[in-house]
Structure 1
Amino acid sequence: MSVRVFLIRHGETEWSAAQKHTGSTDLPLTEKGENEIKKARASFVGTVKLIDPASIRRVYCSPRTRALQTAEILFPNITSKSQQSNGPKLEVAPCLQEWDYGDYEGLTRDQVFQARSDQGVENYRDWNIWRDGCAGGESPVDVSLRLGNFISRLKNEIEKEIKENPNQNRPGDIVCVAHGHILSSLAMVWAKIPLGNGVRLLLETAGVATLGFEHDDVNEPAIFIGVRPRS
């Protein structure tokens, strides 16, 4: 089977450069962000590279502008899933929107601490999004549920493709283009690691991570910490 699920974070925005929590605010890529994605495409996308466009079955993308721009730069021939084309098929996936930061939208980490201090929180610096979530926004349980539903859908689609095409060498790869916290969360939920454990998985702007299955078994989801291009 050897299916790979690639997680790709969008390029730099004005707020990501300032380390502000950017959830629902719809910002475009900066010029530097566009160049980051172009460099990522040159390094990772191609026939003999890590991500072979010909092997991609679907690109799932957050509806935010910064993610859509990233997908379009990475895959110039990308089309909507309803169009007939040899390029990768794009599906806008609301479940891949960034974590809802609620009251912390647009704030840096230090500003979150200050806001908590102003609210009289005793241990105001003892805040961990993986454990505590965001005031007025999503909790780790909320995020786990929406990503769990998405993962179930992916696994069902993979199993269906295997069943319908038993002579196929392997199902097509999947690409998810989205945001830092939600993709880190996706990796943890994929590997059945509770978000509340506070595991820190960092994904830089224009960074690529890879998920898959150990022993080619959909019941053994894994995070690959090192992968090689297809031969």
Structure 2
Amino acid sequence: MSSRLYLVRHGETEWNRQQRIQGSTDIPLNDTGRAQSLASAALLAGVQPHTVFASPLLRAFETGEIIARTLGLPVPVPVPELVERHYGEAEGLNYRQIEKRFPDRSLVPGQEQKEQLSARSMRALHSIARSSDGEAVVIVAHGGVIRAILAELHPSGSHGRIANGSIHTLGFDSDLLSLVAFDQLVPPLTTR
């Protein structure tokens, strides 16, 4: 039975705006992020999703709650395997600070390895897809998680930046996941 999975990056936070690495640090949405979540919900209304799944980190779960409430769906199902990559000692730093402290980004103390992130992200995605029973579902996650999933599904593709509020469509058929559409971008929103 074929399904559609709509992978959504959470809305903006203050740390996103400040270009600080969040990782597993639990940062809430800002007003722009809430507006992005509403815009994502409006785009998803046409596909009539059955369920919303979300990382339990506040920024993703709140995005999922806004989408679910807007679409008249139950509260999102939390999926712990969808939390953002743990960036260890880089969390809270901006990109310039990271470049100074950790010239080799693969050697940041306490950082989760990309292979670990990819394995847990794909495990969660397959579990959700198998339970979807041919229904459309929304999955709210993080930039690192989405990049890991896209790299697995389309290894030769260049996916660049995963924008806040962006939507990526995946297909699931005969136990196989595929990338259907990349970056159905929600227009940039500002509250300033």
Task: Please report the TM-score for the alignment, with normalisation by the length of structure 1.
Answer: 0.70
Deviation readout 1:81-140 (Å, 9 max, x if unpaired): xxxxx7346210111100101011011222111002xxxxxxx2x54xxxx374312001
Aligned equivalent of 1:141, options 73, 96, 115: 115
Q: Could you tell me which amino acid in structure 2 is paired with residue 141 of structure 1? A: E
Aligned partners of 1:25, 1:227: CA distance in 2, in Å? Answer: 25
Q: 1:218 to 1:76 in 2, by over 3 A?
A: same
Aligned equivalent of 1:90, options 71, 76, 81: 76
Asked if 1:178 is matched to 2:141, the reply is yes
Q: Report what 1:40 is aligned to.
A: 40
In structure 1, the gaps of 5 or more residues are: 79-85, 117-123, 162-170
Q: Report what 1:222 is aligned to.
A: 178
Flag the structure with larger Rg: 1
Asked whether the 8 Å contact 2:154–2:179 carries over to 1, the reply is no
5 Å-filtered alignment, 1:142-221, equals: 142-158=116-132, 161=133, 171-189=134-152, 191=153, 193=155, 200-213=159-172, 216-219=173-176, 221=177
Partner-residue secondary structure (3-state), 1:136: coil
Give 1:151 shift.
Answer: 3.2
Aligned partners of 2:183, 2:165: CA distance in 1, in Å? Answer: 17
Counting matched residue pairs gives 184
Q: Report what 2:63 is aligned to.
A: 70
Q: 1:200 to 1:77 in 2, by over 3 A?
A: closer
CA RMSD of aligned residues (A): 2.7
In structure 2, the gaps of 5 or more residues are: 185-192
Give 1:200 shift.
Answer: 4.0
